[in-house]
Amino acid sequence: MSLPAFDVVRPRTVDSAVKALGRYGLDAQMIAGGTDLLPSMKQGLFGPRLLIDLKGLRELDYIRFDAEHGLEIGALTTITTLAASPIVAAKFPVLHEAAKSIASPLLRNMGTLGGNLCLDTRCLYYNQSSFWRGSLGGCIKKDGTVCHVAPGSETCWAAFSGDTAPSLVALDAMAGLLSPRGTRRVPLDGLFVNDGLVRLNKAADEIVTSVFVPATRAGWRGTYRKLRVRQSIDYPLAGVAVTMRTDAEGTCLAARIALTAVNPAPRLVAAADRLVGRPYDSDLVEEVAREAIRTAKPLRTSASSMEYRRHMIRVFVRRALTELWRDGR
């Protein structure tokens, strides 16, 4: 499979990148590491006339932290830099573990935080060659009208399979967006749309420039569990990010659980609120783990079965809470 013809522009400032995106509109795609976009273009999933290469925007490559304002990460920070950051490892371990789990060293060297957050949703019926998709008449996400994993659905159930998003959602992070209309911040949880076709709640001319994590989340215990066929390279088939804060006696003061790869968007598990004010209790942990299955809606979007992915969500939530709450004391 070869790449289609396209032009490239390489803006040197964020403002010029925004202007280029506004000028070309839907005919343009942004590219940073290209680890997701270029294979998709080879599969005929995207055919932009223009690629806006953001790699030269060094002003978006940084990690900053202070005790008053919290953590700020530029969208062009590579996954390798994120995983190697001592600040992230010490104060935001859930994000550190998620970054370490992504793909392979070579792909982490190229891939960026912004790119990982803006990944296209994935599906067994979508991420195929154009010849393969054509044999089925396409799908609701590309060249067709039917969602093959949920034929009666009017929305797309392709799964979001990023690793950093659930960890940042669990940390109550916000995303910084820039457009010709100015800048704005949105809760990261609200950036994603639970529809595999829509994907992101942002305008076509907006660029994700940064991510902010509140200072109040620094020092929270955290872990990330990921189900995949191989222990490198593969996207998650299911992922669980858990963060927790406890007092000296082990009573839970706050907890958040976020899931990935089992819905069209990363999703929070509302039942995590049941842990607040309680000491460790294995029955309570099991109750929340069972409730996580209600949040997870895995369908036939991957080679793994729906039942197994649901089961592993329950197992991962149980193991993560036990590790952070009981064993972490």
State residue 251's pLDDT score: 97
The pLDDT of residue 329 is above 90: no
pLDDT, tens digit, 9 for 90 and up, residues 169-223: 999 999 999 999 999 999 999 999 999 999 999 998 999 999 999 999 999 999 9
The confidence band for 158, taking pLDDT boundaries of 50, 70 and 90, is: very high
Query: Same domain, yes or no, for 231 and 306?
Result: yes
| pLDDT value at residue 2 | 87
For residues 234-239, give the mean pLDDT: 95
3 & 107 share domain: no
One domain, residues 259 and 319 = yes
Q: Are residues 2 and 94 in the same domain?
A: no
- Work out whether strand 252-260 and strand 267-268 pair parallel, antiparallel, or are unpaired: antiparallel
Verify that 6 and 108 share a domain, yes or no.
Answer: no
State yes or no: pLDDT of 114 exceeds 80: yes
List, in sequence order, the alpha helices (H) in the chain. Answer: 14-24, 37-42, 79-84, 86-91, 93-101, 105-110, 113-117, 130-135, 164-170, 188-191, 282-295, 306-321
Asked if residue 4 is part of any domain, the answer here is yes
Structural domain total, the chain: 2
- Regarding whether 190 and 51 lie in a shared domain, the answer is no
Based on the fold, state whether residues 316 and 269 are members of the same structural domain: yes
* Closest of 14, 4, 18 to residue 202, by C-alpha: 18
State the average pLDDT over residues 123-144: 95
The pLDDT of residue 135 is above 80: yes
- pLDDT of amino acid 153: 92
Percentage of the chain beyond pLDDT 70 is 100
Output the domain CATH number for residue 223: 3.30.390.50
> What secondary structure, in 3-state letters, does 202-261 show?
CCCCCEEEEEEECHHHCCCEEEEEEECCCCCCCCCCEEEEEEEEECCCCCEEEEEEEEEC
* Mean pLDDT across 45-57: 95
> Any bridge partners for residue 223, and if so which?
242
Instruction: Provide mean pLDDT across the span 224-235.
Output: 91
Taking residue 132's Cβ as centre, other Cβ atoms within 10 Å add up to: 11
- Mean pLDDT score of the chain, rounded to an integer? 95
Q: Which residue segment(s) compose the domain that 80 sits in?
A: 61-118+159-326
The DSSP secondary structure of 166-183, one letter per residue, reads HHHHHTT-EEEEEETTEE
Would residue 23 count as lying in a domain? Answer: yes
Is there a domain that residue 274 lies in?
yes
Q: How far apart are CA 262 and CA 160, in angstroms?
A: 7
Q: Does pLDDT of 167 surpass 90?
A: yes
Q: Is a pLDDT exceeding 90 seen at residue 238?
A: yes
Question: Band of the pLDDT at 230, cuts 50, 70, 90?
Answer: confident
Tell me, yes or no, whether 148 lies in a domain.
no
Task: Let me know if residue 107 belongs to a domain.
Answer: yes
pLDDT, tens only, 70-100: 999 999 999 999 999 999 999 999 999 999 9
What is the rounded average pLDDT of the residues 302-318? 96
